A and B are shown apart, each in its own frame.
Chain A
Amino acid sequence: MSGQGDPSGERWMRLGLGTLSVAIGLAAWQALGSFHLIPSGLLASPEEVWAALIDISRHGYRGTSLGQDIGATLFRALAGFVIATVIGVPLGLWMGMSRLTAAAADWLVQFLRPLPPLSFLVLLTLWLGTGDLAKVGLLALTAFPIITSATYAAVGSVPQQKILAAQSLGASSGQIFRHVLLPAALPMISTGLRIALAAAFSTVVAAELMAGSDGLGWMIFSASQFLRNDIILLGIILLGLLGMGLNSLLLGLDRGLIHWRGRD
């Protein structure tokens, strides 16, 4: 009753409209160049970007292959995200269950959360060098407060009645944590993880802009110094697709594993 018509029709509708809007976007892009609305030197056409993709995937860009750039960016984003998850989820859970921990950690997390991560970048680079360590650290710092506060809030939103019900059925506090609190909090934690991954991913480019010799962000930065706007556009498109891919990967996991999301 809660669904909207038949699901396969819905899927075709989404696929059709999605394709249509991408096509319109591409056509508009093409038109901007063809009608000289933007000088041709400043906006590469779709064909030129396609050609750049072929060229770079064959010969690489300034000594690094395309796979290496994509791999470096993916690795940094995921490594930072995983570190933040491994620390942030347990800390958020602990804060949700212990008022003392919450009181001790909450200000720190709330202080970190609104800070632009890039403000740390110079310090981190000075401390940790220009390699991956500083970049991964930056991304972990970006994702950590998001994950921690989402997890903390998730525990707080677990209905009290479910916990009381479990207690009345004889569950110990450890069992309540495992069988009630954690699964009840999981949908909100998962949403927090997706937001954090997107934040980490959008920061990775900025981190690569400042210092580095590979990664998609570096490629964009380097290309902009040579005014190669075909490669800039290519980098942007690849980043967007990669971000979409990561998000839908997490979304797929969420849908597959957390079947009780939004249901009570």
Chain B
Amino acid sequence: MPDHLVIPAVSGEAAPLAGAASDFVRFDQVSVTYGAGTPQATLALTPTDLGFARGDFVCIVGPSGCGKTTLMQTLAGFLKPTGGAVSVGDVPVTGPGPDRGVVFQHAALFPWKTVAGNAGFGPAMRGLPRAERRARVEYWLNSVGLWEFRNRYPYQLSGGMQQRLAIARALANEPDILLMDEPFGALDALTREKMQEELHAVWKRRGMTVLFITHSVDEAVYLGTEVVVMSQRPGCILQRIPAPFARLAGERDIRRIKAGSDFVSLRERVLSLIWGEGGG
């Protein structure tokens, strides 16, 4: 049902081509040291280069402490790199901004606002006209199946619904880039798979750029146009592996894709990279 709604003020571009030449998001020699200048200084991220194009769905996997969240936080503007610079469309990142929507592992909703109030938070703060705000809230709450719960409060929703609301809240702002830090980590397997499908559909429809952190290699290979494998202590990028499944044309069958030999061999390749790391 949500897919038949007409969304206002959105250009209906097709899914973008893979491997566009110019990098939309760029990390240039970005490094992060926590507690720099103190005896407890810890190098969380070695100088790292990473760039990707508009419309890419980049999944970062790696063991705990590999700096993947740190890397994302520099793009979100939550964390100032100790060295190097992050830029989006050649504009340096200096702080958080509505062009980069963030979905956290735990929803971080506003329990004093209704479901609709949460979904419309960004547009309201940015002073969009009332009609536009209402249209966006209706569209995105429908997209994540929460429209009928619009007058409830977040604490009256299940964990999966809260996470869907957090995604709708980020998307209602129509950011250029969506940053997601293990957004489905706290969900049960069934809900998680459903959410992967919904996220994929939204990404394909809207052609936005996604940076997605996950512990699940399966999830990364399935959702990403590219899988970035990171390694720990100190955090660095081990390898970047293109993944074809996100841009498969036609009807999508999650079970069949995940059971296919292409999928399995790519997943094993990523896993062996991580395990080779972890095993020492």
Asked if A15 is at the interface (CB within 8 A of a chain B CB), the reply is no
Residue of A nearest to B104 (CB): A161
Interface size class of A (residues with CB under 8 A): 20 to 34
Instruction: List CB contacts (< 8 Å) of B49-80 with chain A.
Output: 76-78
Main SS at interface, chain A? helix
A164 lies within 8 A of B112 (CB): no
Complex Cα distance, B34 from A224, in Å, reads: 66
Q: Name B125's contact: one of A172, A260, A263 (CB within 8 Å).
A: A172
Is A157's beta carbon under 8 Å from chain B? no
**B interface footprint on A132-172 (CB within 8 Å = 1, 0 otherwise):** 00000000000000000000000000010110111111111
Complex Cα gap A192–B106 (Å): 28
- Kindly specify which of A40-48, A109-117, A175-183, A241-249 makes contact with the partner chain: A175-183
Contacts of B96 in A (CB 8 A): 164, 167-168
Which of B112, B122, B155 lies in contact with A170, CB distance below 8 A? B122
Complex formed: what's the CA distance from A179 to B104 in Å? 19
- Chain B at the A interface: mostly helix, strand, loop or mixed? loop
| Inter-subunit contact A166/B111 (CB<8 Å) | no
B110 is contacted by which of A164, A168, A183 (Cβ under 8 Å)? A183
Please, how many angstroms separate the alpha-carbon atoms of A175 and B122 in the complex?
11
Distance (whole angstroms) from the CB of A154 to the closest CB of chain B? 14
15 contacts between A and B (CB under 8 A): A159-B108, A162-B108, A164-B76, A164-B108, A166-B125, A167-B97, A169-B122, A170-B98, A170-B122, A179-B121, A179-B125, A180-B110, A183-B112, A184-B112, A263-B155
Q: B residues engaging A (CB < 8 A)? A: 76-78, 95-98, 100-102, 104, 106, 108-113, 121-122, 125-126, 153, 155, 169-170, 173
* Residues of A in contact with B (beta carbons under 8 Å apart): 159, 161-162, 164-172, 175, 179-180, 183-184, 186, 259-260, 263-264
Having A162-B108, A170-B97, A175-B125, one finds 12 other A-B pairs with CB under 8 Å, namely: A164-B96, A164-B102, A165-B104, A166-B121, A169-B98, A169-B101, A169-B169, A169-B173, A170-B122, A171-B125, A180-B110, A263-B153
